């Protein structure tokens, strides 16, 4: 896609042959992989993208030679986040977001479960991480990478458009400057106990499901190490050499050890198992994936900054009960008992 920049805040481009008959949102997602499709759609819906001079919709179908007018993404997205923060009243307390590191240029927090990092339209009732960090967003901090809605743990924000763009580009490369380490609870036990999962991934299509694809996928590498083994379950440490959408979830499913809860890649919306000690059941209603450690170069000084995020209570308790169950030889440890399915009123 060739671009011209007569206006420093706008870009103009002609749709190349490979974009013919493609939806605008999909085309933008392929051309600008630093940003999520949700972010790009938000910009389109805000009226910042035009096709042949006409304000565009995300689903408009493009044709070869169409003229696109676009903003500079690294400038418009922080501005939209500030506008959202300025008008939002957040119902969830900011104290749910644990601060792990802060200085004038870099902020790293631990994201709670069930919170998307970005929202949609301004009218949306969904509370996002941006909303919960309202004061920092208004001070020009912005996210430089993403976590899934139900994934917890360390996530970084950088202050200032130029520093933020440079850090986003570093997150998008696999040069070893940034280390992202996760912990997960999975079904089954990997064999071998430590290894590499190297399988190219195609981005999510209809239905929001990514897939392993030799033909259409981009290189993706996940390293794993088994920390604990239970009866038909395991606790893993995972290190990402790349950052593809749903990479850990797809890679784990590809070796037969999907996350213990994953409605998309494991077909399981919840997991519950009784505590043999007579205490409350262990219950998970989200993907048990936690960004436990993040190491990155400081955006201004380039010195390494490393933080660790405490594991959330639901995963800690699930592991505690799995240890008890496995120690007592219960054969159903690590699988949801059929007589104890999650319900809407479960704790």
Q: CA torsion, points 193, 199, 204, 207, in degrees to nearest 10?
A: -60
Contact 27, 41 (CB under 8 A): no
Q: Which of 153-157, 262-266, 327-331, 340-344 has the lowest mean pLDDT?
A: 340-344
- Which string of b and e fits 198-230 if b means at least 16 CB within 10 Å? ebbbbbbeeeeebbeeeeebeebbbebebeebb
C-beta atoms surrounding 154 within 10 Å: 27
Whether 148 is catalytic is yes
Short-list 140, 79, 132, 148, CA closest to 106: 140
3-state secondary structure 284-336: ECCCCEEEEEEEEECCCCCCEEEEECCCCHHHHHHHHHHHHHHHCCCCCCCCC
Residue 19, domain member (yes or no): no
Q: pLDDT, tens digit, for every residue of 268-326?
A: 999 999 999 888 999 999 999 999 999 999 999 999 999 999 999 999 999 999 999 98
Strand partners, 70: 11
Count of domains observed in the chain: 2
Q: What is the pLDDT of residues 35-94, one digit of tens each?
A: 777 788 888 988 899 999 999 998 899 999 999 999 888 778 777 777 766 655 555 555
> What confidence tens digit (pLDDT) does each residue in 170-211 have?
988 867 789 999 999 999 999 999 999 999 998 887 667 889
Q: Are residues 161 and 191 in the same domain?
A: no
User: Model confidence at 122, in pLDDT bands (50, 70, 90)?
Assistant: very low
Whether residues 183 and 249 fall in one domain: yes
Torsion angle of alpha carbons 82, 86, 88, 93, nearest 10°? 80
Residues 189 and 316 in one domain: yes
Q: Residues 308, 252: one domain? A: yes
Tell whether 233 and 309 lie within a shared domain: yes
**Residue 60 falls within a domain, yes or no?**
no
Question: Could you tell me which residues come within 8 angstroms of residue 123 by beta carbon, excluding any fewer than 6 positions away?
Answer: none
Quick check: 126 and 327 in contact, CB under 8 A? no
Question: What is the residue range of 126's domain?
Answer: 90-171
We report the CATH number of the domain holding residue 286 as: 3.30.2350.10
Both 154 and 234 in one domain: the answer is no
Q: Are residues 152 and 209 in the same domain?
A: no
Q: Which one is catalytic: 148, 241, 275, 281?
A: 148
- 25 within some domain: no
């Amino acid at each position: 896609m060739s671009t011209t920049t007569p206006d420093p805040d706008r870009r103009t481009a002609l749709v190349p042959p490979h974009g013919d008959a493609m939806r605008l949102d999909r085309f933008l997602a392929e051309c600008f992989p630093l940003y999520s499709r949700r972010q790009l759609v938000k910009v389109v819906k805000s009226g910042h993208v035009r096709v042949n001079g006409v304000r565009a919709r995300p689903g408009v179908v493009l044709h070869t030679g169409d003229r696109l007018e676009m903003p500079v993404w690294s400038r418009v997205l922080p501005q939209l986040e500030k506008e959202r923060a300025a008008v939002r009243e957040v119902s969830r307390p900011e104290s749910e977001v644990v601060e792990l590191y802060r200085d004038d240029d870099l902020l790293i927090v631990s994201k709670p479960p069930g919170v998307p990092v970005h929202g949609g339209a301004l009218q949306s009732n969904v509370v996002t991480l941006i909303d919960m960090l309202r004061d920092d967003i208004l001070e020009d901090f912005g996210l430089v990478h993403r976590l899934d809605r139900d994934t917890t743990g360390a996530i970084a924000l950088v202050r200032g458009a130029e520093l933020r763009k440079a850090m986003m580009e570093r997150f998008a490369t696999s040069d070893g400057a940034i280390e992202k380490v996760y912990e997960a609870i999975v079904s089954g036990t990997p064999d071998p106990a430590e290894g590499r999962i190297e399988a190219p991934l195609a981005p999510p299509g209809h239905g929001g499901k990514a897939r392993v694809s030799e033909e259409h996928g981009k290189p993706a590498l996940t390293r794993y190490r088994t920390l604990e083994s239970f009866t038909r379950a395991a606790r893993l440490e995972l290190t990402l050499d790349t950052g593809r959408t749903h990479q850990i979830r797809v890679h784990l499913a590809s070796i037969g050890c999907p996350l213990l809860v994953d409605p998309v890649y494991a077909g399981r919306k919840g997991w519950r198992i009784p505590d043999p000690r007579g205490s409350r059941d262990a219950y998970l209603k989200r993907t048990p994936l936690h960004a436990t450690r993040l190491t990155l170069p400081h955006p201004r000084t380039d010195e390494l900054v490393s933080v660790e995020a405490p594991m959330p209570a639901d995963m800690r308790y699930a592991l505690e009960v799995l240890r008890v169950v496995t120690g007592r030889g219960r054969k159903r440890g690590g699988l949801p008992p059929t007589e104890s399915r999650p319900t809407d009123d479960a704790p």
